[in-house]
Chains A and B, each alone.
Chain A
Amino acid sequence: MNFPENLKYTKDHEWVRVEGNIAFIGITEFAQGELGDIVYVDITTEGEELAHEEIFGTVEAVKTVSDLFMPVSGKVLEVNKGLDTNPESVNKDPYGAGWMIKVEMKDAAEANALMIAADYKVLIGH
């Protein structure tokens, strides 16, 4: 499994890519494998200000449903429209085409506090 070094990770199996005060957020390769075939990514929080740990959406696999949590506080600037028609991108390319939201961070220090790849690998016993 692949866990890119340039990303930060959460205990909820999400990744964060920081670009200045902007964060791109998705779920990890481990998470998509655990969920199985993803059939629907339900995110209706575009434009909303959400706090760290608040639910920003839900990912539905054939057999399971899982909430998505804000890894950082901020405003949801954009939702990945591509997932509407191709939710399977989350399985195939979790760090690329499978990204979920773009967030304007309230406090960049929150992102710094997240796990680095090596720590996340320990968490999932990889």
Chain B
Amino acid sequence: METTSEELKSVALENKHISLGAKMVPFAGYLMPVSYSGLNDEHVTVRNAVGVFDVSHMGEFILKGEHALDLIQRVTSNDAAVLADEKIQYSCLPNDKGGIVDDLLVYRMNEKEFMLVVNASNIEKDWDWISKLNTKGVEMKNISGGVSLLAVQGPKAILALQKLTDINLSDIPYYSFKRGLFNGEENVVISNTGYTGAGGFEIYFPNASADKMWDAIFAAGAEFGIKPIGLGARDTLRLEMGFCLYGNDINDTTSPIEAGLGWITKFTKEFTNKAALLEQKEKGVFQKLVGFEMIDRGIPRHDYQIADASGTIIGKVTSGTQSPSLNKAIGMGYVPTTFSKADSEIFIMIRDKAIKAKVVKIPFYKA
């Protein structure tokens, strides 16, 4: 993303990150920490202990009123009607051309109030898209600018965070949340979600408490070796789990069916572009998003081409990295359905050379 420093927005904890020696980079219009102690060290910290990501750049919308659920049902692909209070759902906003406006989390606060958590780079686009379809007067509020979000992730996260609240965190199942008193602050949303596959919670609270909250979490986690984690390790952690990243693996032109998001595309209800997506599901798709690992030496990167054994270009890499946990090079990309079975041989074009890889099942990393 091309942004000059004058246009960059700041998260509440920007100075905290700078004082901790973070390498700061422009990301989705914000100056964000990409690394602190080093990507591999941060990655391992989250897998083995506990780390904290500032993801306050993410967007939050509140949808309220009689028809809030109806609007969410029409704009998202998953079935939000199955949500009970304090439950969360992964979903996406299909566009009317076969692609995806964004992927998001839907929180049911109560019967008539929902929170949508969207990607930072898509806040405006999502807002406009949902607003356009808001024909029944649902009250919509974009609270992104006032909310800070810390993802506290790793096997020790629950032990560290439990010190800061009387809410029993082990009573909050995966993809569930509670709202309550946390570190002396009312109405904090404590959500058993994340983007790492390492376990842990995401904590939503007002910007004004950001410094206090950060310090309390680090004090609570000190005995477990808690560390700040940048966006670099966030990307390697999510990729080891095979989680899609909007802008890389999914975008305005990729179909949720092709992207392997059929499990969040429910045809039992009406939603944007349902008919076309249903046809894809029934007739089958030409290409699919798959995970692969390198057999010969080389590291796949976003936009590298994928070839078959004869050298014909058959697809493109959407994400790739050296996996810090597995110590091998892994990636995801779109290939024709005929190459999508595990163990299919494919070749990644790295600097004009075809380097052998094989399709594997995701997640790459199994805890």
Contacts and interface: CB of A to CB of B under 8 A. Distances in A.
A36 B35 contact: yes
Given A60-B322, A62-B321, A63-B321, A39 B235 contact: no
B119 interface: no
A37 B297 contact: no
A62 B301 contact: no
Interface string A27-57: 0000000001101101000000000000000
A113 interface: no
Nearest to B297: A40
Contacts of A60: 299, 322
Interface residues of B, number: 16
A63 B35 CA distance: 11
A58 interface: yes
B299 A39 contact: yes
Main secondary structure of the interface of B (DSSP, over half): mixed
Contacts of A63: 34, 39, 232, 235-236, 321
A39 B351 CA distance: 17
A123 interface: no
A89 B324 CA distance: 16
A58 B351 contact: yes
Contacts of A42: 297-298, 351
B337 interface: no
Most buried by B among A42, A60, A62, A65: A62
A39 B39 CA distance: 11
Contact of B324 (A40, A58, A62, A65): A62
Interface string B13-33: 000000000000000000000
A68 to B, nearest CB: 12
Contacts of B38: 36-37
A40 B297 CA distance: 9
A40 B301 CA distance: 13
Contacts of A61: 39
Nearest to A34: B23
Contacts of B322: 39-40, 60, 62
A45 B236 CA distance: 30
B40 A37 contact: yes
Interface in B192-215: none
Nearest to B301: A65
B297 to A, nearest CB: 7
A42 B322 CA distance: 14
B76 to A, nearest CB: 31
A16 to B, nearest CB: 24
Interface string B29-69: 00000110011100000000000000000000000000000
A33 B39 CA distance: 11
A62 B298 contact: no
Given A40-B297, A40-B299, A42-B298, A62 B351 contact: no
Most buried by B among A40, A63, A65: A63
Most buried by B among A39, A40, A42, A58: A39
A37 B39 contact: yes
Most buried by A among B35, B39, B322: B322
Nearest to A65: B301
Nearest to A33: B23
Nearest to A40: B299
Contacts of B321: 62-63
Given A62-B40, A63-B34, 13 more contacts: A36-B35, A36-B38, A36-B232, A39-B299, A39-B322, A40-B299, A42-B351, A61-B39, A62-B236, A62-B324, A63-B232, A63-B236, A65-B301
Interface of A: 36-37, 39-40, 42, 58, 60-63, 65
9 A-B pairs with the lowest CB-CB distances in the bound complex, closest first:
A39-B322, A37-B40, A62-B39, A60-B299, A37-B39, A63-B232, A36-B39, A62-B322, A37-B38
Interface of B: 34-35, 38-40, 232, 235-236, 297-299, 301, 321-322, 324, 351
24 contacts: A36-B35, A36-B38, A36-B39, A36-B232, A37-B40, A37-B324, A39-B299, A39-B322, A40-B297, A40-B298, A40-B299, A40-B322, A42-B297, A58-B351, A61-B39, A62-B39, A62-B40, A62-B236, A62-B322, A63-B34, A63-B39, A63-B235, A63-B236, A63-B321
